[in-house]
Amino acid sequence: MARRSAIVATGQTHHRSIRRDVNGQEIINEAVTRCLEDGDLTINDIDAVVIGNMDHFEGINYVDCWSVDGCGGFMKPTIKLTTGGTTGSTLAIAGHHLVASGAFEKVLVIGWEKNSESDTTGAINTAFCPIWDRPFFAGAIAGLSVTAQSYADRFGATPKDAARVAVRDRRHACLNPYAHLRKEVTIEEVLASPMLADPVCLLDMCPRTDGACAVVYAAEGLAEKMCPQPAWVHGVASRHMFSYVSDADFAGGSLFSMERAAQELYKKTGIKEPLKEIDVIEMYQPFSWAGLIWTEDMGLCKKGEGPKLVWDGVTDLGGELPINPSGGVVSTNCIGATGLIRAAEVALQIQGKAGERQVPDVNLAIATGFGGCLWTDMLAYGKNKPE
Amino acid sequence: MSPEEKSSKEQELQKEGLLTIHSAKEAEQPFLYSVGRYGSRFLEEMQKNKRFVGVRCPKCGKVYVPPREVCGPCFVKMEEEVEVGPRATLDTFTIIRFPYIDPETGDLRPVPFGYGFFKIDGSDTLFQHYFPIDDESKIKIGLKFEPIWREERTGSVRDIEQFVLVEE
Amino acid sequence: MDKAAIIGIGMTKAAGRVKEANYAELVYPAVVAALEDAGITIEDIDNIVTTSNDFWDGRTISSMATGDVSGGYDRNVSCVEGDGAFGAFYGWCRALSGHYGTTLVTAYTKGSESVSPYITNAAFDPIYVRSLGLDMVSGCALQARRYMNRYNVSEEQCAVVSSKNHRNALNNPNAHLQLDLSVEDVMGSRMICEPMKLYDCSPVSDGAVAVVIANEEKTKKFGKKPAWIKGVSFCMDNYLLGDRDLAECAALEKAAKQAYAAAGISNPRKEIDVAEVYDAFSYQELMWTEGLGFCEKGEGGKLAESGATGKAGDMPVNPSGGLLPSHPVIAGGLIRIAEAVRQIRGEAGDMQVDKDVGTALAHGVNGVAGQSHCVWILGKE
Amino acid sequence: MSNVWDSVEPRVLESRIKVPYAWQAGETASHFLLSLKNETKFVGKKCAKCTKVLVPPRKTCPYCFVETGEWVDVSDEGVVETYAVVRRDTGILPVEPPFVYGVIKLDGADTGLVHIVGEVKPEEVKEGMRVKAVFAEERTGKILDVEYFKPV
């Protein structure tokens, strides 16, 4: 019984660099409780729980089983999904499929991470092939920096162009009470911050965060009754196309998986002119440079024109197509939650509940996920029930 | 934070009623990762003959280095061995300047180091390795590099010390 | 739920150590076999669910290793972490979500690459439990003792299960251990963690499995020999062992009840013709047969002793041998599904049970001491 | 054509994952562990809804999914609910085998605590046996601040 589904409730923690007052299960519970409150629900209303994180950040095996006290999965169907950085978006896609299939009416989806509990780069390195990749790789920062280097080489984009993206997202974050880093920065400050891996500086990069996010998906027929404005799923697409870091063709820095996912998503949802038709994007953009490159890969502008799009203010709050009104990933990155926060944030935008970071009249919004071996997930949500 | 600072910080927090549970210092999970037949052949050729071998996809013609069994895009088994390199073109690179824990040792990895993706001549995939950074200004995408082999080779990617610029 | 079926299965021979293959090379033959079995090519697959576990694989984002060999390049793909039966559940949902028609589900573990107590110790709470050194074996031994004490189940009754399943495995060319074990052999094996002896415990194996799940339309198009999915349910109990009544399997009872309701089964003992259950330890098959309603609570031992769960019995359980002789951890539940499919098709060779199989049950478990259970009912019609 | 890949001696990379972890216990577990450390005392949390006393304590009741209420002191004595005798050395054990794990329900608690049962021959441990906590001399705020439980 293929049917439509929508996000009807969202909740997230106030994200911080370290939450000593709560353990893992308790930080999960905080997001779940807020989500249920948002939807005026109790745990008894929930048919199934989907949870995810990246195991080696906290060193807990069978996290679904461990999480019960916090996630509310006691005597319920509970399942875990993990795909690295894309975990959160993978979860958002799973929540939709579980409802769309007819298996469940209401599904609670949870992404979380306590990145303070390990060395983020050390743990990320374990994701990669121990024989070919792991001896050299230096985590996400390395993988992203080489992408930026390649892009800069091909199109002449500069660190200053990238810094403009960091400035945008960090300004947006000041409007989001949940964001981890809430401090405006200047282009000069970004450029003067310590070099992590050329050409990427500290303020170009996402932080590591303790946080959790939860959303509830409901089936059509029910969703309309549960909240005044459900955020309807219009389409989903995933491309997890590489198994080794060295498979990536960095030529030009383009994110091939995003090009392919965007093509599929636009085809499925009938989007022909993304810049005009999409009202807001929450992009899993883990560093500033991606805010240049991936706008191109999403087809918002031509190759090499990302910097112009950003400098023209098109992607600022108040611009034609705001990107990351929440402050995005450079302001908050609790990795297993990050992709789901993108989905929750666009749901808030569609519901008109985004407070100071609200974009006016959001009809169609995109959430993306990034992670793994340069992988992409994309989800389209809309105000109206899809055809 | 130094271990002393860390410990005094934790005593402070204990007074506030907040504990941190640490994994044992020596805690580790041992693994015996199988290299697989294709990868083993590559390591053997490096170790014995200082030679790079790859495998060519019978469908799309792409040459994979290191070799592997299946071409992902074509979903076919590959068998044709191809000798490649040893010279390589720098496809992209960075210089890692931030310290992080090497998950294999549990210790901080020394920085900075040059980290490059090399397209070995004749191959269509990239090969990661180190390069020297005594003169950073010389490093450019598209330049030719070659491997420096270790005298004592054990059958690991570390049998190559690093890739160095070919002085034309 | 709309109709869907399993239209293809593929398995590797499980072994103690497949040294010549990395993860990808282990999984690829299973995928090729499943596609061939379904009579389709990778082009007919429109989405993929891989199943893996970051700890067993020794890498976080374990799904990376087997993406290409599962046909994941440029296709919609996802990854469930946990037992393969749970991965297949998500694959089934995707096939019915309206987005896709055919899901390829893969699962594997190379137990030989890690040290299992280290891996399963990480399943225990790092704040309250982990430093005590528990692992899957000792955690399950606490459950075994509780269950055996409450219901007067004897070690001999557990040994009956182990002997039966090891001997069943002699008919299964894919099984890891091929041992002709008597009850006395099991009883005489060395004590690992009382009350469990060596042959009360499954080995940790290397193995891979793949299945193709299709919606009704695609099943009709491709499915030469579909096993229809009649009902699937899963359920999770509490986490800390001290929070649970370890002598009972409430989560399994609930999952079974829901799966039976979906499949229209009111008397499982009569209506289910064969069951493949997750017997990582011998006591578990007894507990699970009770939880699945094949007998009354506490009667699992007597059921096994009566011979009813034998290949020729009226309620055959694990004719493939189950996990006791062959346990590639994460693949365990998905192999149970694949074996149930073979029984339904009548293609189980020497493992084929004596009675006609119209309805088969398969079962997977996540976590320590059966914390989370997944129950599948498959049918010929 | 003979296949070069099949004739090769397969290699194995001996490696390890050695990422250090620092788990934040949070307010609830910290209070429990600090009570062990500073006062050699067990405390539990009582669920406001089902009134079960949870030891070890949780911020949320695992049964009712509501925030638990008051702290209650529980006894350092209790009953062995189930047990297992470890005979095989797994490399991660805190004491030499053979030894006994038990799930112990402390007097005043409604849930069991997993721990070690010591000062007893393994074959003499029985379900229902009464045991009492033996505290470590040096305590740092961890579950092994209780060395083991011994028969009363």
Nearest beta carbon to residue D113 from set C117, C191, C242: C242
3-state helix, strand, coil in chain B (%, to 5): 20, 35, 45
Instruction: Tell me if C133 sits within 8 A of C285, measured CB to CB.
Output: no
Ordered domains of chain A (ranges, CATH):
5-119+209-226 (3.40.47.10), 131-207+231-380 (3.40.47.10)
D76 token code pair? 């350092």
* Å between D152 CA and nearest CA of chain B: 30
Residue B115 domain-assigned (yes or no): yes
* First CA to last CA distance, chain D: 75
Nearest beta carbon to residue C126 from set D23, D87, D127: D23
What separation in angstroms does the CA of D66 have from each of A30, C371, D48?
Answer: 12, 21, 8
Distance separating alpha carbons of residues D107 and D42, to the nearest angstrom: 10
Q: Are strands D99-106 and D42-47 parallel, antiparallel or unpaired?
A: unpaired
CB contact under 8 A, B18 and A142: no
* Å between D82 CA and nearest CA of chain C: 5
Residue D39 domain-assigned (yes or no): yes
**D92-96 CB contacts, 8 Å cutoff, 24+ apart:** D92/C117, D92/C118, D92/C121, D92/C133, D92/C135, D93/C133, D94/C131, D94/C132, D94/C133, D94/D144, D95/D148
* Å between A297 CA and nearest CA of chain C: 16
As a residue count, chain D comes to: 152
Residue D18 domain-assigned (yes or no): no
Q: How many domains does chain B have?
A: 1
Distance separating alpha carbons of residues B19 and C127, to the nearest angstrom: 10
CB contact under 8 A, C240 and D15: no
* Å between B156 CA and nearest CA of chain C: 16
Residue B9 domain-assigned (yes or no): no
CB contact under 8 A, D10 and C192: no
Distance separating alpha carbons of residues D32 and D44, to the nearest angstrom: 7
pLDDT for the residue numbered C109:
98
D73 token code pair? 């002191």
Domain containing B95: what range?
37-165
pLDDT digits (tens, 9 = 90+) for C94-103: 999 999 999 9
Domain ranges, ordered by start, for chain C: 4-115+205-222
Q: Which residue of A has its CA nearest to B21?
A: A117
Residues above pLDDT 70, as percent of chain C: 100
Enter the ipTM: 0.97
C32 near A CB under 8 A: no
B60 near A CB under 8 A: no
pLDDT digits (tens, 9 = 90+) for B75-91: 999 999 999 999 999 99
Q: E-strand spans in D4-152?
A: 12-17, 22-24, 42-47, 53-54, 68-74, 77-86, 99-106, 113-117, 130-135, 146-151
Distance separating alpha carbons of residues D93 and C270, to the nearest angstrom: 46
* First CA to last CA distance, chain A: 16
Task: Give the residues of chain A that fall short of pLDDT 70.
Answer: 1
Exposure string for C251-278, b = 16+ CB within 10 A, e = fewer = bbbbbbbbbbebbebeebeebbbbbbbb
Instruction: Round the CA-based radius of gyration of chain D to a whole number and report it.
Output: 21
pLDDT for the residue numbered C148:
98
CB contact under 8 A, B30 and C67: no
- Tell me the angle at which helices C136-151 and C282-291 cross, rounded to the nearest 10 degrees: 60
Domain containing D65: what range?
26-151
Chain C neighbours, 3+ Cβ pairs < 8 A? A, B, D
pLDDT digits (tens, 9 = 90+) for A42-77: 999 999 999 999 999 999 999 999 999 999 999 999
What separation in angstroms does the CA of A367 have from each of A83, A324, A326, A341, C49?
Answer: 16, 10, 12, 9, 21
What is the pTM assigned to this prediction?
A: 0.98
pLDDT for the residue numbered A249:
77
CB contact under 8 A, A61 and C53: yes
DSSP summary character for residue B109? P
What separation in angstroms does the CA of B16 have from each of A25, A241, B6, B9?
Answer: 21, 48, 15, 11
pLDDT digits (tens, 9 = 90+) for B47-65: 999 999 999 999 999 999 9
CB contact under 8 A, C132 and D101: yes
Exposure string for C50-71, b = 16+ CB within 10 A, e = fewer = bbbbbbbbbbbbbbbbbbbbbb
Q: Which of A17, A19, A21, A246 to mutate to test the interface with B (most CBs of B within 10 A)?
A: A246
pLDDT for the residue numbered B4:
67
Mean pLDDT of chain C: 97
Is the domain covering C4-115+205-222 a CATH 1.10.490.10 domain?
A: no
pLDDT for the residue numbered D1:
45
Q: Which residue of A has its CA nearest to B136?
A: A198
Q: Is the pLDDT of residue B1 over 60?
A: no
Residue D7 domain-assigned (yes or no): no
Residues above pLDDT 90, as percent of chain D: 95
CB contact under 8 A, C131 and D94: yes
- Tell me the angle at which helices C282-291 and C155-169 cross, rounded to the nearest 10 degrees: 100
pLDDT for the residue numbered D3:
83
Q: Is the pLDDT of residue B96 over 60?
A: yes
pLDDT digits (tens, 9 = 90+) for A116-173: 999 999 999 999 999 999 999 999 999 999 999 999 999 999 999 999 999 999 999 9
C42 near B CB under 8 A: yes
pLDDT digits (tens, 9 = 90+) for C219-261: 999 988 899 999 999 999 999 999 999 999 999 999 999 999 9
* Å between D52 CA and nearest CA of chain A: 15
C195 near D CB under 8 A: yes
CB contact under 8 A, D21 and B156: no
Distance separating alpha carbons of residues C200 and C190, to the nearest angstrom: 10
B20 near C CB under 8 A: no
Chain A neighbours, 3+ Cβ pairs < 8 A? B, C, D
Residues 260-299 of C with CB under 8 A from D: none
| C57-65 average pLDDT score | 95
Distance separating alpha carbons of residues A25 and A66, to the nearest angstrom: 8
B50 token code pair? 């200082």
Residue B21 domain-assigned (yes or no): no
CB contact under 8 A, D20 and B23: yes
Distance separating alpha carbons of residues C275 and C288, to the nearest angstrom: 11
As a residue count, chain B comes to: 168
